[in-house]
Structure 1
Amino acid sequence: MFRPDSNRDRTDYSGILIPPDGYRLDRAVGTTYSLDLEALTAVAICLGLSEETDSKLMQNPIGMLNALQKVSDKIVLFCEAGQIKVPTKPTALSILLEKMVVEVALPKDRQLGRYPSFHPKTWVLAYVNADGDKKYRFVVMSRNLTFDRSWDISFVMDSSKNVKQKKKTQPICDFLDYLVTNVHNTSNNAGKKRNLIRGLCADIKDVSFSLDSKIFGEDFEVLPLGIGENAYQMQDDILFCTERGNANSTFNELVVMSPFLSESVIADFNLTDRALSDCKRTLITRRSELGKLKASDVDNFTIYALKDEIIDGEDEISDELADKKKQDIHAKIYLRRKYSDVDLYLGSMNASYSAINKNVEMMLWLGTKNMYLNGNKFLEDIFCGPAGDVKNPFEEVTVADAVLETESDNRDLLEQKIKELCRVKRQAVIQKDSENAGKYKIAVAFSGIESDSTITVSPFNSRQEQTLSEHIEFSELEILQLSEFYEITVRSGDDTIRRIIMIPTSGFPDDRESAAVNSVVKDRTSFVEYIAFALGDDYVASMLEGKQMGESGFFANSSDAMPALYEKMLKTSVEEPERIKDIGYVLKMVTDKDIIPDEFRELYETFCNTLKIRR
């Protein structure tokens, strides 16, 4: 179940999200702490085209456009404000991602003196087939929507008509209701986003999800934290309840896997009076976190961390890899055994005070018996055998083995500046640039702030950069540089942090999305490619993915391809009429008659009239 060396136990993001056979995405709501826009594009390809997230279609603009067109109005993705990564290769199609993304900026907590985090990593998905039958999926993860290579945990369960336990779905509905309150009126298409979430919530309120598990049966609970009055109070859970004399807080075995820690949380787990006979406690964390602990905080624990050769694995393999990344644990897992009862918790919550008491998080509880799962069995899995075996990717460590983070405290101050900026009221207005024909200017206002020379602001996909002040103006911008995404750069000494934030922006030209589409579908050949994707032509798609377009001759004379596409449209109109509707998008966006022949538009109109497709 937890073996990192087993293909059966390992999964990837695409395998989690891809629609079941015969189904397509109906709508989806996702959450993440940090967000990579390129990873979101990969998810769109997964959900729109049922392709792997590492598919070569990521490098194909036609495939990306087709996927984004299919799902951009069907997905709402929430993330922590100020935690959107700046894309390495921004494209014109990135503006289609604006429709999906909502930033969440939680207010400062007076007790903490800092901002809690919006930290859940979840998906609630609805799929539909040609007959209108729907299936639903609920996903809980520790993984952010990024290309990070750390070790994470994921959990997936699908709806089932064979069990009746819709009460267990209510916390998911409560979580969706909370997300609706975070779609503010300033958000792009706020009404549509709220309606999508409310519609999904209405759909699943009478749905039962099933584990279909021999180990856990149907013994599970969904635990959303930090969402207001309907939040689960994790601090009162038997895992953390440490009132003196509270018999519920005792255990025989405890395993805590958490990349980030608070001393107080681990010290509570370490209390002697929580131990039953032959008690065994294990902590798996990062070496960098050990410095937060005193030896007395963990004297009842055996502690493990990943071996250096695992963390630096790509450096060990090759010095020539261009995108080498370290890896460490990022999974959050808690296993507690008391006599024969075993409680397993997994999700986004670190073993830290803020995570347990202040953040918005999503956890899942699973119940089972000692005969199926316990601490020893879990450790044997995660260690790939006995603890002392050479295959074990972890090694025993002590507090004295702490490795200090190389990042300076200065970076924490820069992160704090970004958090504060994300909580300032801001807006932008686009106007035509009267001094430059065909260009635009943007006036950006940050209410009530003072100028800060350490922070600069730049429109997305533009090299223009202005120092942060209450009023900023950008001019001579192309239409494809107009976006709700703005790049923020914060500098101090040798440290620099670059992020994307969203600024509510008005005055977008009506043809902005059309301009983005025209930047991709720019000739007859690319139009034929798009139609091939829209019709689901596997042969054409495989050629595109194999980069054989120039050699195959299929697109060498696009007029020769038209009869074949007409035949494919006729077949598709009978088997999958929804795909015919998808073609209307590009016909609406591309108006150049040299690209789309009049006869094709007439044929499309005939199909729509015959099939009664709304356009």
Structure 2
Amino acid sequence: MFRPDSNRDRTDYSGILMPPDGYRLDRAVGTTYSLDLEALTAVAICLGLSEETDSKLMQNPIGMLNALQKVSDKIVLFCEAGQIKVPTKPTALSILLEKMVVEVALPKDRQLGRYPSFHPKTWVLAYVNADGDKKYRFVVMSRNLTFDRSWDISFAMDSSKNVRQKKKTQPICDFLDYLVTNVHNTSNNAGKKRNLIRGLCSDIKDVSFSLDSKIFGENFEVLPLGIGKNAYRMQEDILFCKERGNANSTFNELVVMSPFLSESVIADFNLTDRALSDCKRTLVTRRSELGKLKASDVDNFTIYALKDEIIDGEEEISDELADKKKQDIHAKIYLRRKYSDVDLYLGSMNASYSAINKNVEMMLWLGTKNMYLNGDKFLEDIFCGPVGDAKNPFEQVTVADAVLETESDNRNLLEQKIKDLCRVKRQAVISEDNENAGKYKIEVEFSGIESDSEVTVSPFNSKQEQTLSEHIEFLELEILQLSEFYEITARSGDDTIRRIIMIPTSGFPDDRESAAVNSVVKDRASFVEYIAFVLGDDYVASMLEGKQMGESGFFANSSDAMPALYEKMLKTSVEEPERIKDIGYVLKMVTDKDIIPDEFRELYETFCNTLKIRR
């Protein structure tokens, strides 16, 4: 179940989200702490085209366009405000991602004196087939929506008509209700986003999810943390019970796997009077976290961390896009055994005070028996065998082995500035640049802030840069540089942090999305490629390409081309009618007759009218 060297136990993002055979995405709501827009594009390819997230389609603008066009109105993704990565290769199609993304900026906690984090990594997905039958999937992970290569944990379960346990679905509905409250009126298409989430919530409230597991049976509970009155109070869970004399406080085995720690949490787990006979306590963490602990905090623990050769990088596995990067554990797993009862917790919650008490998190509890799973079996899995085996990616360490990662005070200050900026009331207005025909200007307002020479603001995909102040103006912008995504750069000394934040923006030209599509379908050849891609037929591609290249008209003397194309469209309309609608999208967005001639539009209209295809 947990072996990192087993192909059966390893999975990737696409395998978790991809629609079941014969089904397509109906709608989805996801959450992440940090977000890579390129990773979101990969998810769109997975959900829209049922291709792996590391597919070559990531390099194909035609495939990306088709995927984003299919799903951009079907996905809402929430992330922590100020945690969107600046794309390495921004494209015009990135503006189609705006529709999906909602930033969450939690208010400052008076007790903490800082901002709690929006930290859940969750998906709720609905799929539908040609007959209208729906299936649902619930996913809990420790992984953010990025290309980070650290070791994570994932869990997914599907809806089932074979069990009746819809009460267990209520916490998922509570979580979705909470997300609705974070779609503010200033958000792009706020009403549509709220309706999508509410519709999904309404769909699943009478749905039962099933583990269908020999090990766990149907013993599970969904545990959303930090969502208000319906939040699960993790600090009151038996896992954290430390009251002397309380039977819930004791255990025979405890395994804590967490990349980030608070000393107080680990010290509480370490209390001597929590141990039953032959008690074993194991901590699996990062070397960089050991410096937070004293030897007395963990004198009842055996501690493990990844070996240096693992952290420095393994061979790429089915990942043509990622560079070789350092990695470490990022999974959050807690296993507690008392006598024969075993409690397993997994999800987004670190073993830290803020995670347990303040953040928005998502965890899952699974219950089983000692005969199926316990601390020793779990460790044998993650160690790939006995602890002393050469294949074990972990090694035993002590507090003295801490690797101190010296966090720059400057960097922490810059991070704080970005967090503060994400909580400032802000807006932007687009208008035509009267002094530069065909260009645009943006006026940005950050209410009540003072100028800061360490922070600059740039429109998305633009090299223009202005120092942060209450009023900022950008001139001579192209239409494809108009976006709700803005790049923030914070600099101090040798430290630089670059992030994307969203600014509610009004005045977008009506043809902005059309311009993005035209940047991909920019000539006859790319239109031919799009048609062939949508119809999924190499023969159509070669046939159309030959006609287009060899003759002056699009289908001049097309006695063979038109019937072949019509036949393929007819077949596609029966098997996958959604693909025909994809063609209609591009016909609407691309109006240049040199790219799409009237003959093809007439063919499409005739076809849709004959088969009564709504468009």
Corresponding pairs, count: 615
**Aligned equivalents of 1:352, 1:366: Cα separation in 2:** 21
Question: Which moved further from structure 2: 401-410 or 378-387?
Answer: 401-410
- Provide the TM-score with structure 1 as the length reference: 0.96
Match of 2:97 in 1: 97
Are the aligned partners of 2:166 and 2:207 in contact in 1 as well (CA < 8 Å)? yes
Match of 1:547, SS state, is helix
Shift of 1:374: 0.2
Question: Which moved further from structure 2: 489-498 or 603-612?
Answer: 603-612
- Compared CA separation, residues 545 and 599, structure 1 to 2 (3 A): closer
Per-residue Cα deviation, 1:279-305 (whole angstroms, up to 9, x for no partner): 000000000000000000000000000
Question: Which moved further from structure 2: 178-187 or 321-330?
Answer: 321-330
Are the aligned partners of 2:147 and 2:322 in contact in 1 as well (CA < 8 Å)? no
Are the aligned partners of 2:316 and 2:324 in contact in 1 as well (CA < 8 Å)? no
- Compared CA separation, residues 372 and 480, structure 1 to 2 (3 A): same
- Compared CA separation, residues 349 and 560, structure 1 to 2 (3 A): farther
Shift of 1:534: 2.1
Are the aligned partners of 2:171 and 2:223 in contact in 1 as well (CA < 8 Å)? yes
Match of 1:316, SS state, is coil
Shift of 1:123: 0.4
User: Do structure 1's residue 423 and structure 2's residue 384 form an aligned pair?
Assistant: no
- Compared CA separation, residues 562 and 276, structure 1 to 2 (3 A): farther
Match of 1:51, SS state, is coil
- Provide the TM-score with structure 2 as the length reference: 0.96
- Compared CA separation, residues 229 and 268, structure 1 to 2 (3 A): same
Are the aligned partners of 2:547 and 2:561 in contact in 1 as well (CA < 8 Å)? no
Are the aligned partners of 2:540 and 2:565 in contact in 1 as well (CA < 8 Å)? no
Question: Which moved further from structure 2: 405-414 or 15-24?
Answer: 405-414
Shift of 1:584: 1.1
- Compared CA separation, residues 545 and 314, structure 1 to 2 (3 A): farther
Per-residue Cα deviation, 1:392-442 (whole angstroms, up to 9, x for no partner): 000000000000114413211111110000000000000000000000000
- Compared CA separation, residues 540 and 257, structure 1 to 2 (3 A): farther
**Aligned equivalents of 1:159, 1:56: Cα separation in 2:** 31
Match of 2:407, SS state, is coil
Shift of 1:502: 0.2
Question: Which moved further from structure 2: 603-612 or 177-186?
Answer: 603-612
**Aligned equivalents of 1:606, 1:306: Cα separation in 2:** 63
- Compared CA separation, residues 558 and 345, structure 1 to 2 (3 A): farther
- Compared CA separation, residues 550 and 376, structure 1 to 2 (3 A): farther
- Compared CA separation, residues 372 and 544, structure 1 to 2 (3 A): farther
- Compared CA separation, residues 548 and 165, structure 1 to 2 (3 A): farther
Per-residue Cα deviation, 1:367-400 (whole angstroms, up to 9, x for no partner): 0000000000000000000111111000000000
- Compared CA separation, residues 294 and 543, structure 1 to 2 (3 A): farther
- Compared CA separation, residues 398 and 559, structure 1 to 2 (3 A): farther
Per-residue Cα deviation, 1:328-359 (whole angstroms, up to 9, x for no partner): 00000000000000000000000000000000
**Aligned equivalents of 1:302, 1:555: Cα separation in 2:** 74
Match of 2:574 in 1: 574
**Aligned equivalents of 2:403, 2:551: Cα separation in 1:** 53
Are the aligned partners of 1:314 and 1:321 in contact in 2 as well (CA < 8 Å)? no
The correspondence of residues 32-431 of structure 1 with structure 2, limited to 5 A, is: 32-313=32-313, 323-431=323-431
- Compared CA separation, residues 28 and 546, structure 1 to 2 (3 A): farther
Match of 2:231, SS state, is coil
**Aligned equivalents of 1:523, 1:169: Cα separation in 2:** 49
Are the aligned partners of 1:287 and 1:305 in contact in 2 as well (CA < 8 Å)? yes
Match of 1:317, SS state, is coil
Per-residue Cα deviation, 1:18-65 (whole angstroms, up to 9, x for no partner): 110000000000000000000000000000000000000100000000
**Aligned equivalents of 1:57, 1:403: Cα separation in 2:** 40
Are the aligned partners of 2:119 and 2:359 in contact in 1 as well (CA < 8 Å)? yes
- Compared CA separation, residues 485 and 217, structure 1 to 2 (3 A): same
Are the aligned partners of 1:57 and 1:545 in contact in 2 as well (CA < 8 Å)? no
Question: Which moved further from structure 2: 43-52 or 594-603?
Answer: 594-603
Are the aligned partners of 2:140 and 2:364 in contact in 1 as well (CA < 8 Å)? yes
Shift of 1:562: 5.4
**Aligned equivalents of 2:472, 2:530: Cα separation in 1:** 39
Match of 2:316, SS state, is helix
- Gap regions ≥5 residues in structure 1: none
- Compared CA separation, residues 602 and 463, structure 1 to 2 (3 A): same
Per-residue Cα deviation, 1:226-278 (whole angstroms, up to 9, x for no partner): 00000000000000121222211110000000000000000000001111110
Are the aligned partners of 2:54 and 2:319 in contact in 1 as well (CA < 8 Å)? no
- Compared CA separation, residues 107 and 2, structure 1 to 2 (3 A): same
**Aligned equivalents of 2:382, 2:333: Cα separation in 1:** 11
Question: Which moved further from structure 2: 416-425 or 539-548?
Answer: 539-548
Are the aligned partners of 1:524 and 1:558 in contact in 2 as well (CA < 8 Å)? no
Shift of 1:560: 7.9
Match of 1:593 in 2: 593
**Aligned equivalents of 1:95, 1:285: Cα separation in 2:** 38
Per-residue Cα deviation, 1:522-558 (whole angstroms, up to 9, x for no partner): 1111112112222233777999999999999999999
**Aligned equivalents of 2:318, 2:99: Cα separation in 1:** 40
Per-residue Cα deviation, 1:502-533 (whole angstroms, up to 9, x for no partner): 00000000000000000000111111211222
- Compared CA separation, residues 283 and 128, structure 1 to 2 (3 A): same
**Aligned equivalents of 2:372, 2:52: Cα separation in 1:** 33
- Compared CA separation, residues 207 and 558, structure 1 to 2 (3 A): farther
The correspondence of residues 458-497 of structure 1 with structure 2, limited to 5 A, is: 458-497=458-497
**Aligned equivalents of 1:239, 1:76: Cα separation in 2:** 33
**Aligned equivalents of 1:547, 1:607: Cα separation in 2:** 21
Shift of 1:604: 1.6
Are the aligned partners of 2:528 and 2:544 in contact in 1 as well (CA < 8 Å)? no
Match of 2:97, SS state, is helix
Are the aligned partners of 2:54 and 2:321 in contact in 1 as well (CA < 8 Å)? no
- Compared CA separation, residues 266 and 549, structure 1 to 2 (3 A): farther
- Compared CA separation, residues 457 and 250, structure 1 to 2 (3 A): same
Match of 1:147, SS state, is coil
- Compared CA separation, residues 380 and 69, structure 1 to 2 (3 A): same
Shift of 1:568: 1.1
Question: Which moved further from structure 2: 531-540 or 156-165?
Answer: 531-540
Are the aligned partners of 2:270 and 2:301 in contact in 1 as well (CA < 8 Å)? yes
- Compared CA separation, residues 22 and 320, structure 1 to 2 (3 A): closer
- Compared CA separation, residues 549 and 72, structure 1 to 2 (3 A): farther
Are the aligned partners of 2:454 and 2:490 in contact in 1 as well (CA < 8 Å)? yes
**Aligned equivalents of 1:161, 1:436: Cα separation in 2:** 62
- Compared CA separation, residues 604 and 553, structure 1 to 2 (3 A): closer
**Aligned equivalents of 2:376, 2:557: Cα separation in 1:** 65
Per-residue Cα deviation, 1:149-192 (whole angstroms, up to 9, x for no partner): 00000001000010010000000000000000000000000000
CA RMSD in angstroms comes to 3.2
Are the aligned partners of 1:554 and 1:561 in contact in 2 as well (CA < 8 Å)? no
**Aligned equivalents of 1:318, 1:48: Cα separation in 2:** 20
Shift of 1:574: 1.9
Shift of 1:77: 0.4
Question: Which moved further from structure 2: 156-165 or 553-562?
Answer: 553-562
**Aligned equivalents of 2:14, 2:315: Cα separation in 1:** 27
- Gap regions ≥5 residues in structure 2: none
Are the aligned partners of 1:525 and 1:555 in contact in 2 as well (CA < 8 Å)? no
Match of 1:314, SS state, is coil
Match of 2:614 in 1: 614
